[in-house]
Structure 1
């Protein structure tokens, strides 16, 4: 009687393993996508971040030097000269113009903002 019980338990265990294996195979088959494209991106060994090489005092000195020889300074000219983005250049020139201690003043000519040297 004991051997029959062992045989039945063994057969039941084997049947459960086979059924679970088939169910698992069906699960993977549903989620398998053979047309998937995999792109491998290789990062460089050395990563260097290039920042702005001028600090704010140097950029102010550049703007003042430019205004010594020119009538006015535009945001585009300042951005190109200092290698800042247009938004950063405009924000910095506006900050210079707001500060009464700095020799730069904001003047609006038509639709354009220009910066001149304060008298």
Structure 2
């Protein structure tokens, strides 16, 4: 049997490397040939909350004011329990009170929570 010489070894190694690279390259192109997924971004619609509650908004505002006169701040969770609103509706209503410049309520970030206090 004939032993491979240095040039023959080099040629065999080059052939092996070329075959290995062409296989890897073929797999690489196959991966890129997949069709792209099309993602459509849809704007979130404005949420309209119908509040069906035994208290009117004026009564709920008075409840919030009475609570704030005797406490440092009011949380959404506490306001929701007081007024029997959902947390989403309670937050929306408290934010509406803050947006109304005539109402003496303001929003403050306390730690990681948003709470509501009286304006100073």
Normalised by the length of structure 1, the TM-score is 0.57
Give the length in aligned residue pairs.
69
Give the aligned partner of residue 69 of structure 2: 68
Question: Deviation at 1:102?
Answer: 0.4
Aligned ranges 1:1-119 → 2 under 5 Å: 51-119=52-120
CA displacement at 1:52 relative to structure 2:
1.0
1:49-96 deviation digits (Å, cap 9, x = unpaired):
xx4110000000000000000000000000000000000000000010
RMSD over aligned Cα, in angstroms?
A: 0.7
> Which has the higher Rg, Structure 1 or Structure 2?
1
Unaligned runs of 5+ in 1: 1-50
- Structure 1 segments (4+ residues) deviating >6 Å: none
TM-score, normalisation: structure 2: 0.56
**How far apart are the structure 1 equivalents of 2:77 and 2:64?**
12
Distance (Å, rounded) in 2 between the aligned partners of 1:89 and 1:79: 5
Structure 1 residue 118: Cα displacement: 1.1
Q: State the match for 2:29 in structure 1.
A: none
Unaligned runs of 5+ in 2: 1-51
Aligned mates of 2:66, 2:111 — CA distance in 1: 25
